[in-house]
Amino acid sequence: MPSKTVAVIAAHPDDEVLGCGGVMAKHGRAGDAVHVLILAEGMTSRAERRDRGLFDEELSALADVAKEANSILGVASLRLLDFADNRMDSVDLLDVVKVVEDFISGLQPDIVYTHHGGDLNVDHRVVHDAVVTACRPMPGKSFVTLLFFEVPSSTEWRTPGAALPFVPNWFEDISETVALKMEALGVYASEMRPWPHARSVKALESLAAWRGATVGVEAAEAFVLGRYVR
């Protein structure tokens, strides 16, 4: 079976691993080429106002961590951009769409993984809308399969009725790669939280086990199918 080109488009460093790290490693093991685009810098929202200069060392360290984590998962390429953390709603959506379109057109991926549109985090929602727009099925363009992942501490924190809920209808068995996902998350230690936070190691292991039990396997990642192309 021919190898696939896979794109993972996420808002912040660690979202890609939280959302589909097991599947990323699974694709890599199958000989597929996984390419990751992370749009926002993931740090400056922790200050009262955005001053990137105050975070130069931390952002450099986070970039190194992202490279190491993605290397563990067998990623073919990682691109880190500099949109303002948790302020992507202050950017014209078209500007984000054009960046994503350039990434997609250069890769011509078979599958694209990105955020669910109902997440609490505003950057996640902007990225979702940009990816769906960039991947619209226009005549003459290659068609891609779209899958939307969940990010613990964002997807489940959206209150009922505020947005479409995350109701997964696509599950990937990651029993053979869940350990790699957890190893990659271990590299992102500064982004993790102690139990019982939703973004703790125990919570993520439990989520993988629950998603697996839902479909009768040891561990799984769950997705909402946006579009499926054979």
Query: pLDDT value at position 56?
Result: 82
Confidence of residue 55 (pLDDT cuts 50, 70, 90): confident
Question: What is the C-alpha to C-alpha distance for residues 192 and 161, in angstroms, rounded to an integer?
Answer: 28
Sheet holding 170-173, edge to edge: 77-83, 33-40, 5-10, 111-115, 145-149, 220-227, 170-173
In single-letter form, the type of residue at position 195 comes to W
Please state, as a whole number, how many other Cβ atoms lie within 10 Å of the Cβ of residue 153: 17
Q: Which percentage of the chain shows pLDDT scores above 70?
A: 95
Instruction: Supply the pLDDT for residue 58.
Output: 87
How many whole angstroms separate alpha carbon 22 and alpha carbon 129?
A: 24
Q: What are phi and psi of 92, to 5 degrees?
A: -60, 130
Which of 46-50, 78-82, 121-125, 196-200 shows the lowest per-residue confidence on average (mean pLDDT)? 46-50
Q: Do residues 130 and 101 make contact, with C-beta atoms less than 8 angstroms apart?
A: no
Which domains are seen in the chain, by residue range? 5-227 (3.40.50.10320)
Q: Kindly state the percentage of the chain with pLDDT values over 90.
A: 85
pLDDT at residue 48, rounded to an integer: 62
